[in-house]
Structure formats: C-alpha cells, structure tokens
Amino acid sequence: MQNNRVHKNIALLGSTGSIGTQTLDVIANFPKDFKATYLTGNNNTSLLLEQIRRFQPKGVVVSNEKSAKELRKQLGGKTEVLVGEEGLLEIVQRDDVDIVISALVGFAGLKPTIKAIEAKKKIALANKETLVVAGEIIMPLVEKHRIDLLPVDSEHSAIFQCLVGELPNKIEKIILTASGGPFRTKSKAELSKVTREQALKHPNWTMGSKITIDSATLMNKGLEVIEAHWLFGIPLDNIEVVVHPQSIIHSMVEFVDGSIKAQLGIPDMKIPIQYALTYPSRSRSIFPRVHFPTLSEMTFFEPDHENFPCLQLAYDALREGGTIPAVMNAANEVAVAKFLRDEITFLDIPKMISKAMEKHTNKANPSVEEIVDVDRETRRNFQ
C-alpha cells in the first residue's frame, strides 16, 4: 500500500543532468527516506547505465528505441526501459511514484510536469521553462489538484523559505539576486568577442550548458522573474533584480512594514534540492557552511540592461503574456544552441530572441497545444 511505505518513491526526470546527478547525491544520503524508483536520460546512456547499477530503479526512460534495445540487452530484463516523451508521461502517473522531480532542460519539461500535476504527485520543480511558457495554465492546475509544487531553483527556494509563516497579502516585493554571470564587468566591445568557453565558466555555480549560457546573458534571471511571478503570484512591478556577485544571499522578500527576510547559504544546489524533498521538515546535511568572518564582502549592483538586454525581454514577454513568453523561450533555446555550436556570437543571442518576439502575432489565453505549436513554429523559423 502506498501509504504504508517508509520511503518516498521518486521519479527523477533528467537524472543524467546537473540537477539530476546532484539530486541522486542527496537521495544517496537518505537511503531510508527516498528511493530513486524511475530515472530518465536523453543522450547520455552510459551515465544512465551507471546510475541504474548504483540505484537499482524499477524503470528508466531513454530517448529512442535503439538506445532502449541496447540498454535492455545490457540489463537482462531487470529494469523496465521505456522510450521518449510517451515513456516520461507514463512513469510520472504511476502509483509507485510519490514525488516527481522535474529536472529536464527546456521546453521538454512542460508536458511531463503537467501530467505529474494531473496525477496529483508532489513536484519538485527545477525546470523553470515550464512556468515561463505556461505559468498561466500550470498554477490553476496546481490549485485544482491541490498538489505541492516546490521550487528547486535556488532563488525561488529562498523566497519560498522566507514566506513560511507569512501572510501573502503582506508582501511588498520580491528581490531576486543574480550573480551577474562571468561577463558582469565587460564592456559591449568586449562582449562582442567572448567565446563559448568563456561563457561556460560560471563564477559560482556548475550547471548544465544551457542554463550556464542563460546566466551569462542574464536570460536566466529573466526566466526566473517570470517563474517567481507565477509561483508566488506577485505582480511584475513588485519583482526586483539585484546583482550580488558572491551568491550568498539567494533572494529576499520585503514585507509591507519594511522588514526584509533573506535566505543565505553557500552556492550549492543540493541545499534547495534537499529542502524540496524534505519540506516541510529539514534534515541534517553535511554540506559546507557559511563562515561569516571569512566572507570578505557582500556587494550589490543594479543589473546592466544596456549590455544584457535579455532581462528586459523577459519583463516585456511577461507583460504581454499569451504566447509571447513561449516564443521568447523557444528563440532563446535555439539561439543558445547555435551559440554553443559557434554559429552565432554572444551578442546575437538577444538580437535573435527580440526578432522572434517582434515577428510573432500574440495570442491571449493559449491552450497547452497552442503553446506547443508556437514553440515548434518558432524553432522552425529560427533554426
């Protein structure tokens, strides 16, 4: 019986990624509390195979039939191997899943997250793109099915933690902190020459390549503004971004009386991942701690909108609403992939996104299928 189990069964979507592997590290620290029941990968089947050997899941999902066949041969029938989006949609609904961790990158996270909500699973959400493209659909669905949607993104976990015990109508504003990325102090002329290797070196976090480039362009912060708007129901004008290069304060909430709460910690995604899993409780961890006397400084700056226009594009997209955020998201995914293949320059990324947004005829209150169509069309136009 589901309720008599001691441990919680987890479906970890994107187990071979940066969040996925760190989630497995957390799960490994709590073998009595959590079991990695389903794992999923896309291209990295060798890492997935290692994870299967170590965590013994009941089932896994891979991207295509060929990889599935090879994996089945190596596993000798011990682990169920499912395929593609169909496989992802299948596992998130199963009775032997208590928590779905949505850690796919990009638009691919949308449909499995929706299915998991409809199946009334507790969800730990890393895949911010889901809320960016369809927040207007997701949040009412979360309410309808009365599920916990717990943020994994460090800023949103920080805000979520600051809001524990507070009344929603007493929030004045949310202050999202941003590291500013590796190019914070560069001039436009310098930015025109930055390479993919430089962009992939984030000063404070080790993450997947897409979000690392998003952090360098500040699109990541733009996506996070939209994510915060939907998660916490805060109007856009009450969400402020402040650059804090040390990434010790993960975000803040200012209340109507002028009091500000912040959540702090060393920059390590395992902390918000663990909190999402153990919420509403906390468990002891062995992660390194902040030692204030050795923190030389904590500094704060206004974001540079001139050199990093992606942040403003995200504000514009959210203000317009409808299908525009999906266009912005798809154009960004295409532009980042092109930059990673050395096909366009760093400064071409915001140009491509802005062009895609300008060309689009917006549609209000889109359905999921309309969002999927807009995503597909934008990719086709800008490939």
Binding site for ligand NDP (CB under 6 A): 14-20, 41-44, 103-105, 108, 126-129, 153, 205, 207-208, 210-211, 269
User: Which residue number, 84 or 255, has a Cβ lying nearer to ligand NDP?
Assistant: 84
Tell me whether residue 212 or residue 307 sits nearer to ligand NDP (CB atom). Answer: 212
The least CB distance from residue 45 to ligand NDP, in Å, is 7
Dihedral pair phi/psi, residue 365, rounded to 5°: 45, 55
**Residues 125-154 as x/- pattern, contact with Mg ion by CB under 5 A:** ----------------------------xx
Exposure string of 194-213, with b = 16+ CB inside 10 Å and e = fewer, is: beeeebeebebbebbbbbbb
Are 348 and 335 in contact by the 8 Å Cβ rule? The answer is yes
- What is d(CA 362, CA 254) in angstroms, rounded to the nearest whole number? 34
Q: Nearer Cβ to Mg ion, position 98 or 155?
A: 155
Number of residues that bind Mg ion (CB under 5 A): 3
- Least distance from C-beta 269 to ligand NDP, angstroms? 4
208 binds, among ligand NDP, Mg ion, none (CB under 5 to 8 A by kind): ligand NDP
What order do you get walking across the sheet with 80-83 strand by strand? 80-83, 59-62, 34-40, 8-13, 99-102, 122-125, 149-151
Minimum CB separation from ligand NDP for residue 337, in Å?
A: 11
Strand segments, DSSP code E, in 199-248 are 239-243
Which does residue 263 touch among Mg ion, ligand NDP, none (CB within 5 to 8 A, set by kind)? none
Report the residue closest to ligand NDP, judged by CB.
17
d(CA 194, CA 308): 13
Whether 258 and 170 have beta carbons less than 8 Å apart is answered as: no
CB-nearer residue toward ligand NDP: 225 or 269 = 269
Q: Which helix (H) or strand (E) holds 266?
A: none
243's contact among Mg ion, ligand NDP, none, with CB below 5 to 8 A by partner kind, is: none
* Token pair of 20 as six digits: 């996925």
In the complex, minimum distance from the CB of residue 372 to ligand NDP, in angstroms, rounded to a whole number: 13
Q: Which is nearer to Mg ion, 55 or 230 (CB)?
A: 230
Q: Nearer to Mg ion by C-beta: 90 or 155?
A: 155
**CB closer to ligand NDP, 153 vs 375:** 153
Q: How far is CA 53 from CA 66, 99, 104, 324, in A?
A: 20, 21, 21, 43
Among Mg ion, ligand NDP, none, partner that 51 touches (CB below 5 to 8 angstroms by kind): none
Question: What does 333 bind: Mg ion, ligand NDP, none (CB cut-off 5 to 8 Å by kind)?
Answer: none
Q: How far is the CB of 224 from Mg ion (least distance, A)?
A: 6
Q: How far is the CB of 4 from ligand NDP (least distance, A)?
A: 32
Query: What CA–CA distances, in Å, run from 291 to 178, 241, 271, 284, 297?
Result: 21, 25, 16, 17, 12
In the complex, the smallest distance separating the C-beta of residue 237 from Mg ion, rounded to whole angstroms, is: 21
User: Is residue 227 involved in binding Mg ion (CB under 5 A)?
Assistant: no
Rounded CA-CA distance 110/116 in Å is: 10
- Give me the least distance between CB of 14 and ligand NDP, in Å please: 3
First to last CA, the chain: 49
In this structure, the number of other CB atoms found within 10 A of the CB of residue 4 comes to: 5
Q: Which is nearer to Mg ion, 60 or 159 (CB)?
A: 159
Please say which residue, 205 or 279, places its beta carbon nearer to ligand NDP. 205
Measured at the alpha carbon of residue 58, what is the angle toward residues 55 and 62, in degrees to the nearest 5? 85
Pairing of strands 59-62, 34-40: parallel
What residue type is 11 in one-letter code?
A: A
Query: Which of the listed partners (Mg ion, ligand NDP, none) does 216 bind, with a CB threshold of 5 to 8 Å by partner kind?
Result: none
**Which residues of this protein are in contact with Mg ion, per CB under 5 A?**
153-155
